[in-house]
Chain A
Amino acid sequence: MAQTDTLLRYRPWRGTARGPLYASTALARASLKLLFRRRIMWGLFALALLVFFFFFYAQYLVVWITNLLATDSVRFAGIPVTVRGITRFFEPLALNGTAHTFGNFIWYQGYVLVIVLALAGSVLVGNDFSHGSLPFFLSKPIGRWHYILGKCLAIGAVINLLTTFPAILLWVEAGLLYDWKSYYLDNFTLLLGIIGYGLVLTLTLSPLTVATAVLVRRTAPMAMIWMGLFVLLPMLSGSLVESVDDTGWRLFDVWNNLYLCGLSCLNADHAMVRPQPQPPYWQAWLATGAVVGACLLYLRKRIQAVEIVS
């Protein structure tokens, strides 16, 4: 069998390895697959779609009613009904393709997003700790920040899938409902605003998700923290603002801060922001920045603790 040694020989791979940033994208891809393999994720996605379709059809409905009443007159119990009389029900949602339409949409999408993020945090980060898969990632030639970046990218993708992307679709739809040439030209800044809102959400919520998941790891306490942040704090801060008459209390409401940042990206009139009164935009930006900073500082502290204890 003298020939066989010529058949099998080692040929080293001659390519150059790409930088660790590519590893982060690979990590993000793998994380997304992990998340979307779960049925519960699709259930939550369906809930998010429900909100989207409500806005999608309601926006259409408002235009349809307006057009219909321009030609026909509707009488209700003998009284002619004005367009405003009917579309007034939709006014709190501002379904007219303005800054508040997209702001409101993302605000309502937040209810689903919170639960999705609690799930994502425990599946993508908590499981790595509790199932001991962290050493697999960290044994690769990537830094710990690259690991965190990868996870943040995956969470950011989910956030944008639920908020920015459908909001852009609403913007496109609004353009088609009105005169598209003038709408798209006049409201191009709105598109940039939506993207800006998405960016703020991504940059804030991804590190926040990773940080809380690193902190508590399991789904149950993770859900408690998220619900505390996004349900309890708004409840409490809202009632404090009303009773104590200091808008500063509203800055405890993280989701409201993000909403204000988003609306300032969308260049919305501050006096029109619901619920009133609201703190000025700059305070919301400051508070959001503080949250991001705190998360990054916490993560930095955790990263410096070298040992991985599963």
Chain B
Amino acid sequence: MGWVSAGLLGLVIMWVTVMVSRGVWDVETQRSRLSDKQYRPSNKQDAKRLLPTSRYRDLGGGGENRPLRAHELPNPLNPTEDALASLVLSVPHAAMQDEGFLKSRKFMKYSRYVVLLVFTGFVLPLFTLTYASGAFGTERESRSLVWLMTRPIPRSGIYLAKYLGTLPWCLAFGLGGFVAVCLAGGDVGREALTRYWPAAAMGTVAFASLFHLIGAIFRRPVVVGLVYVFFFETVVAVLPGSLKLLSLTFYARSLMYNEAVSAGHPGQMLPTMTEAVSSETAWAVLALAPVLITLLGMWLFSRSEYRDDE
């Protein structure tokens, strides 16, 4: 199982590396989406091209640049209109000069796709699911749980110990995966790491407790967990209304969103998270949920019979 996890993590890291090295989330290096297939300048080049000086230059020779569109043509005969057009067409270049804007956009794009979508939507739940549900799941599959149950220790203690025992694995692959994904993301990734790691850690612990419970209750915990993650969590996350308050990732995402906003990044760049709850609520839920879920699990487990011939 370890190498499967490592493989998946490797895929994600490769993807992040490719995307970052191609500057996909960087507004400067992003290619503009013009219908022209031959000429695809980066946004920075295109913004420069739209400056009055280069427009006037292009008017003469044309050069390697794309021919100017009708509204981009300099119009010296009508100075007022030309000045207005120059002003408007200079906005992209002005934006490119704003370090804060460039950084924020890059960071928020990275947050949106890498952290919120791929990490909290896939890597974190899947890894915690496989490791946390495996605590009892693998013992059940290999029918060796009986050895624990015959020891003179309370059943609730077995449940708790199993949880604490799987937690390092979950953290290693959940939080460790987060660290790896962030380090692959360069500067932006490092900023994401420092801002989001508490949320990632809390999310890991909360998910681990939930999947540990599922592992103790169901005979096929992985299947139940998959249905929960890829139906409930994903569907609920996009639904409007208060149903998403039942989703654990929502709180982890809220924490991340609030963290990003408090660092001065524009929250509108994370459109799925505009209904985020406050940091205090998210902290409280993410801290309380594992405790309550584990207590519930201890209670249920101490009452349930173990039969290997089921």
Point out residues on A near B: beta carbons under 8 Å: 38, 40, 43-44, 47, 111, 115, 118-119, 130, 216, 218-221, 223-225, 227-228, 231-233, 235-236, 239-240, 243-245
Contacts and interface: CB of A to CB of B under 8 A. Distances in A.
29 contacts: A40-B224, A44-B223, A115-B223, A115-B226, A115-B227, A118-B223, A119-B220, A130-B142, A216-B4, A220-B130, A221-B1, A221-B4, A221-B130, A224-B4, A224-B5, A224-B126, A225-B4, A227-B122, A227-B226, A232-B11, A235-B117, A235-B122, A236-B12, A239-B15, A239-B19, A240-B15, A243-B19, A243-B24, A244-B18
Given A111-B230, A231-B230, A245-B31, A38 B220 contact: yes
Interface residues of B, number: 38
B8 A244 contact: no
B113 interface: yes
B137 interface: yes
Given A224-B1, A227-B122, A236 B15 contact: yes
B122 A223 contact: no
A240 B18 contact: yes
B238 interface: no
A224 B225 CA distance: 12
A282 B227 CA distance: 34
Contacts of A216: 1, 4
A236 B18 CA distance: 11
A208 B231 CA distance: 23
Contacts of A119: 220, 223
Contact of B137 (A38, A219, A235): A219
Nearest to A237: B15
A118 B31 contact: no
A50 B40 CA distance: 45
A224 B142 contact: no
Given A47-B231, A236-B15, A219 B223 contact: yes
Nearest to A119: B223
Nearest to B24: A243
Given A218-B138, A220-B130, A220-B222, 9 more contacts: A47-B227, A118-B222, A220-B133, A223-B222, A227-B226, A228-B11, A240-B18, A243-B30, A244-B22
Contacts of A221: 1, 4, 130
Q: Which of A38, A44, A220 lies at the interface centre, i.e. has the most chain B CB atoms within 10 A of its CB?
A: A220
Nearest to A111: B230
B12 A220 contact: no
B7 interface: yes
A115 to B, nearest CB: 5
Contact of A40 (B137, B142, B220, B231): B220
Given A218-B138, A232-B12, A244-B22, A224 B130 contact: yes
Provide the main secondary structure of the chain B interface.
helix
A52 B134 CA distance: 33
B11 A40 contact: no
Interface string B197-216: 00000000000000000000
Nearest to A224: B4
Q: Which of B113, B126, B129 lies at the interface centre, i.e. has the most chain A CB atoms within 10 A of its CB?
A: B126
Contacts of B22: 243-244
Query: What 9 pairs between A and B have smallest CB-CB spacing?
Result: A243-B24, A220-B130, A221-B1, A236-B15, A221-B4, A219-B222, A223-B222, A224-B4, A228-B8
B8 A223 contact: no
Contact of B8 (A219, A224, A240, A243): A224
A219 B4 contact: no
Contact of B122 (A218, A232, A240, A243): A232
Interface in B213-260: 218-220, 222-224, 226-227, 230-231
Interface in B124-160: 126, 129-130, 133-134, 137-138, 141-142
A218 B134 CA distance: 10
Contacts of B220: 38, 40, 119, 219
Nearest to B16: A236
B118 interface: yes
Nearest to A116: B223
B74 to A, nearest CB: 31
Contacts of A236: 11-12, 15, 118
Contacts of B5: 224
A44 B74 CA distance: 64
B1 A223 contact: no
A129 to B, nearest CB: 11
B226 A223 contact: yes
Contacts of A223: 126, 129-130, 222-223, 226
B31 A228 contact: no
B223 A40 contact: yes
B108 to A, nearest CB: 15
Contacts of A235: 117-118, 122
Nearest to A226: B226
A224 B226 CA distance: 10
Contacts of A111: 230-231
A216 B2 CA distance: 11
A227 B230 contact: yes
B22 to A, nearest CB: 6
A239 B113 contact: yes
Contacts of B117: 235
A228 B219 CA distance: 23
A242 B199 CA distance: 29
Contacts of B18: 240, 244
B281 to A, nearest CB: 29
A219 B8 CA distance: 16
